[in-house]
Structure 1
Amino acid sequence: MRILLLTGLAPLLDNRIAGAAVVDRLRHYRNFCEVRAVSPVNIVSSDILGRFSQRFSRYPPKKLLIEDDLEIDYPRYFLVPRDKPIERIVRTISMRLRPDVIITHWGPTGWGACSAATKMGVPHVQFFHGSDIHDLRFKNHRSHEKTKSLIQASDICFFVSEGLKKLSESKYGTARNSFVSPNGINTEIFRVLPEQRQKEPGVTIGYIGRFEPIKGVDNLPGVFDRIRKARNDIPIKFVLVGEGSLRKSVERQLQSSGISHVSIGFVDQKRLAEVMNDLDVLLVPSRNEGWGSVILESIACGTPVVATKVGGTPEAIGNSYNGILVEPGNSFLDRFAQAAIELLENPREPEILAQYASQFSWANIVGREMRIMKETLAID
């Protein structure tokens, strides 16, 4: 079987772990079939504006080698909207590759890819990760209608959580064939590291992710402050990992409140696993979350999680031993901080947490996806 995979989620020059869920899928697809990966890039933002602004110089050259036998193409296109140029990219590559199926990750990339697949008579499979369903940027009428058409025209739609699937059905109607397939974890990297968990006196609490409004990071200073005051009897280290538009604002608030913290930018997965092993509790205060890969990665490293009860977070946490879910609403900061304190006072066994997370290995996730595609599309 030959697969053409298009994605709007892919590694960037300043963030090589961007699109990690897609890259990990690619690694395992190779065990089943031939696959070509493509991430179309608007030439205006990547090449022209990139000469004048560091913000737009983050896109890789036209080809990026991920590892020895895994690469992603970054073909440029010029026109906006993206539908027609992406459709042309798909048709051009398909003339050489002759794919048996076209897979797209991230909704807006699928608008043009699905159209091309339909015209060529090739099955189209669409993956939705969260922001492409609930993000405010896509709530105008035109985007709504395009996403609705994409869902109804695709031969298979995969959603990273049951919560995201239900939200999609309420907004766009029922897909022809819809399945839930969460993002997996690399269990060779995200695992309990005994030497890393031998800690100094005190506790470490952290946030790992994008510093954007949807992630609820503006709540972190208030939560940190409440934890610090409630447990002033023990040394507490607060750790922030990631980048985004609100990072400097969050850091300023912490500094003005006199809250000492360690701030780290984007790191590779190996370093991320080390940080997770160093934490006693991970905080995920998201306002919405399609799935929450960071939750499972943390659990795999033996660290419990406090998360807002939204989207796919209940499915990722799984049970009350792995972490605590906090309902959004009144007194959220107080309740979120108290949940973190409860986990500090009732520590979990790392190996028990890791055992739960092991079922979400990429081998299991991709193996199931391949079975679904072959059976549903009748492809050998």
Structure 2
Amino acid sequence: MKIGMLCYPTHGGSGVVATELGKSLAEKGHEIHFISYQKPFRLQGYHPQIFFHEVGALDYPLFQHNPYVLALVNKIVSISREVGLDILHAHYAIPHSLCAYLARQIVANITLKVVTTLHGTDITLVGSDSSFREITAFSINQSDAVTAVSHSLKEETVKFFPECGEPQVIYNFVDTALYKPGDKNRCLLHYRKGKEKILLHISNFRSVKRVFDVIKIFYKVHQELPARLFMVGDGPDRDEASMLTEELGIKDKVHFLGNHDEILEVLQGADVLLMPSEKESFGLAILEAMSCGVPVVASRVGGIPEVINHGETGLLYPVGDVEGMAEGCLEIFTRSEVCHRFSYQARKRAVAMFDSSVIIEQYEELYRTVL
């Protein structure tokens, strides 16, 4: 099959999933065409079945904002005519599923099918906003198939868009052959001092991720035993989070690493992943940590309970329960049998339920059904 992947190329989950999906499909012999304003950050190296098409937009003073959506539609039309795409897979409803619909109307090719994957905030934040609700609903309804990355997101979609039917749930995935336990004594070697425990947080540092809770949880843990916190990512709350570490007197124990294209070694060096999010449709970083055998302490919200089995592969707490999450981290750090059990079961669950080989087959079957 010839598949066009429409996605954001940034460090967010939707772009990562789209890129990894495309790479896995290429390994199985499909021809993949990524179409975006820049090359996805995880799309490195050369593969004979993978192509990247950069979308440029006219810089004209009359346009107050860059008309990227129109340029994207034009690029999709051009690529479709050039290579004869079978499927356009739109990741994140707006603008990608709408662009796919418009492009199909222009080429007037009824064999060009559109699959839309909903990732979370495209429904719960952007799509549900009055400014975009109607166009989001239209785009979903014009897709030949719609998927959601968790049952929680499926329920949210039905709630916000009851006229659009129920999307099919296809979970996010991880390459468990790549994301596997590593040597903690080697990973993060330049930072780890003695028997310090390493806590890790990965996000876009927006308010919904509750990065201040991460700092407060670490502060409580640090009061009980030697520890360090690594913050991977960037976003609006980054500077204020740094100020909070100064106020609490733990600035030298908290490391802001910024966005990382390759976080495998960081994950392998962690003892616990902290994800106290207010909302989370799936939590790809959680799955990648589990695949590396890293226990997770997280909020019991959204799709997270579909990934983590509380008390078996990690610990779940109500949103904002800083005290409980700190106690959970300390339990993992001080009770070796709990830590080993969580690590083993987390890895086992990732391999059994979320390995790329399992999920990619589901997407292939969906494509075949649509065609």
Give the Cα separation in 1 of the matches to 2:261 and 2:12.
7
Residues 293-323 of structure 1, C-alpha deviation per residue, up to 9 Å, x if partnerless? 1111111111110111111111121342111
Q: What residue number does 1:87 align with?
A: 73
State the one-letter code of the partner of 1:210: N
1:217 paired to 2:207: no
Distance 1:248 1:142, change over 3 A: closer
State the one-letter code of the partner of 1:339: G
Give the Cα separation in 2 of the matches to 1:100 and 1:351.
41
Residues 340-361 of structure 1, C-alpha deviation per residue, up to 9 Å, x if partnerless? 2232233134333212111312
Counterpart contact for 1:65–1:71, Cα < 8 Å:
no
Distance 1:328 1:87, change over 3 A: same
Q: Residue 246 of structure 1: which of 237, 244, 248 is its match?
A: 237
Give the Cα separation in 2 of the matches to 1:316 and 1:293.
9
Please give the secondary structure, in 2, of the residue aligned with 1:90: helix
Q: What residue number does 2:54 align with?
A: 74
State the one-letter code of the partner of 1:76: G
Give the Cα separation in 1 of the matches to 2:163 and 2:331.
40
Residues 95-125 of structure 1, C-alpha deviation per residue, up to 9 Å, x if partnerless? 1122222111111121121233355322210
Counterpart contact for 1:102–1:117, Cα < 8 Å:
no
Please give the secondary structure, in 1, of the residue aligned with 2:256: strand
Q: Residue 163 of structure 1: which of 146, 149, 152 is its match?
A: 152
Counterpart contact for 2:299–2:317, Cα < 8 Å:
yes
Unaligned runs of at least 5 residues, structure 2 = none
Please give the secondary structure, in 1, of the residue aligned with 2:174: coil
TM-score computed with the length of structure 2 as normaliser? 0.84
Q: What residue number does 1:282 align with?
A: 273
Please give the secondary structure, in 1, of the residue aligned with 2:340: coil
Q: Residue 168 of structure 2: which of 179, 198, 221 is its match?
A: 179
Give the Cα separation in 1 of the matches to 2:195 and 2:268.
15
State the one-letter code of the partner of 1:6: L
Q: What residue number does 1:4 align with?
A: 4
Distance 1:196 1:365, change over 3 A: farther
Please give the secondary structure, in 1, of the residue aligned with 2:301: coil
Alpha-carbon offset, residue 264 of structure 1: 1.3
Distance 1:341 1:64, change over 3 A: closer
Superposed, which structure 2 residues align to 1:102-117 within 5 Å? 102-108=88-94, 109-117=96-104
Alpha-carbon offset, residue 280 of structure 1: 1.7
TM-score computed with the length of structure 1 as normaliser? 0.83
* RMSD of aligned residue pairs (Cα, Å): 2.7
Counterpart contact for 2:14–2:119, Cα < 8 Å:
no
Q: Residue 348 of structure 1: which of 333, 336, 340 is its match?
A: 340
Q: Residue 22 of structure 2: which of 15, 26, 33 is its match?
A: 26
State the one-letter code of the partner of 1:283: L
Counterpart contact for 1:6–1:103, Cα < 8 Å:
yes
Counterpart contact for 1:207–1:283, Cα < 8 Å:
yes
Give the Cα separation in 2 of the matches to 1:76 and 1:290.
31
Please give the secondary structure, in 1, of the residue aligned with 2:131: helix
Counterpart contact for 1:87–1:116, Cα < 8 Å:
yes
Alpha-carbon offset, residue 197 of structure 1: 7.5
Give the Cα separation in 1 of the matches to 2:249 and 2:273.
21
Give the Cα separation in 2 of the matches to 1:16 and 1:83.
19
Residues 31-85 of structure 1, C-alpha deviation per residue, up to 9 Å, x if partnerless? 142221101x3xxxxxxxxxxxxxxxxx569x99732123422211346665544
Total equivalences in the alignment: 346
State the one-letter code of the partner of 2:176: T
Distance 1:368 1:146, change over 3 A: same
Alpha-carbon offset, residue 285 of structure 1: 1.1
Please give the secondary structure, in 2, of the residue aligned with 1:348: helix
Q: What residue number does 1:263 align with?
A: 256
Give the Cα separation in 2 of the matches to 1:195 and 1:228.
19
Q: Residue 132 of structure 1: which of 109, 115, 122 is its match?
A: 122
State the one-letter code of the partner of 1:38: I
Distance 1:196 1:19, change over 3 A: farther
Alpha-carbon offset, residue 16 of structure 1: 11
Residues 215-251 of structure 1, C-alpha deviation per residue, up to 9 Å, x if partnerless? 111222222222233x2xx212222222222112111
Residues 13-44 of structure 1, C-alpha deviation per residue, up to 9 Å, x if partnerless? xx6998222111111111142221101x3xxx
319-328 vs 79-88, which deviates more? 79-88
Unaligned runs of at least 5 residues, structure 1 = 42-58
Q: What residue number does 2:302 align with?
A: 311
364-373 vs 108-117, which deviates more? 108-117
Q: Residue 323 of structure 1: which of 314, 317, 338 is its match?
A: 314
Alpha-carbon offset, residue 172 of structure 1: 0.9
Counterpart contact for 2:19–2:43, Cα < 8 Å:
no
1:153 paired to 2:125: no
